[in-house]
Amino acid sequence: MSLLFVWLLGCAEEPVAPAAAPVTEPAPAPAPEPPPPEPAVVAAPRLDVNSATEEQLGALPGVGPKMVHEFEEYRPYKSILQFRKEIGKYVPPEEVARFETMLYVPIDPEKSDAPTIMQIQGLDQAEVEAIVAGRPYADRAAFMAALAAALTPEELAAARPMFAPAG
C-alpha cells in the first residue's frame, strides 16, 4: 500500500497555480475637455459726460451727489484733458482714470486733440497721430473709414456713440 501511495503521489499532476489574470494597463484617462472659449470682453457702454443726466451720473459706482455736481459744473467738456484738469481738482488721478472708464468726452473728428481721440478703445498713439494727420476728412464717413482701418468691427461699433453730432 505504501508503494501504491508513493506511485499515486508520483503520478499525481503537479499542482497548477491558478492562472493569473492577464496584466492590463489601466485605461488612459480621457483627455480633458478643452476650456470653453473666453467670452469676448465687451466694455460696458460709457456715458457722454456732457449729456448724461444727474440720475445717470449718480448711478455710477463711487459717484455721489458732490461728484455729480462737479461733473455738471464744467460742462461742456471740449477735451479729455479739460475733464482731467477740472475733475482732478477734487479727486486723485487714479480716481479720474476710473471715471474715464465710465464716461467719455464727445469726439469731434475735425477738432478733438489726440488724447481725446485716444478714448477710443483699440487705438494706439501712432494710429491716433495718423488719424489726426489725415484731417480734414471729406465727411464723417471718411473719418469712420480711417478708424475702420485701425479698429476691429466690434471696437468701431463701440466707438460710434462717442462722436459729437455732426455739424
34 or 150, greater pLDDT: 150
Question: What own/partner pairs with CB < 8 Å and gap ≥ 24 does 83-92 have?
Answer: 83/49, 90/66, 91/67
**How high is the pLDDT of residue 45?**
85
> For the chain, what percent of residues have pLDDT higher than 70?
73
**How high is the pLDDT of residue 34?**
61
Model confidence over 49-101: pLDDT tens digits?
999 999 999 999 999 999 999 999 999 999 999 999 999 999 999 999 999 99
Do 56 and 70 reside in the same domain of the chain? yes
**How high is the pLDDT of residue 124?**
97
Do 129 and 113 reside in the same domain of the chain? yes
Domain membership of residue 22 (yes or no) is no
Do 51 and 101 reside in the same domain of the chain? yes
Q: Is the pLDDT of residue 8 over 60?
A: no
Full domain range(s) for residue 70: 46-106
Task: Kindly report whether the global pTM for this prediction surpasses the value 0.85.
Answer: no
Domain membership of residue 23 (yes or no) is no
Residue 102 maps to which CATH number? Answer: 1.10.150
For 125-147, b where at least 16 C-beta lie within 10 A, e where not — what string? eebbeebeeeeeeeeeeebbebb
Domain membership of residue 38 (yes or no) is no
Specify the number of domains making up the chain: 2
Domain membership of residue 78 (yes or no) is yes
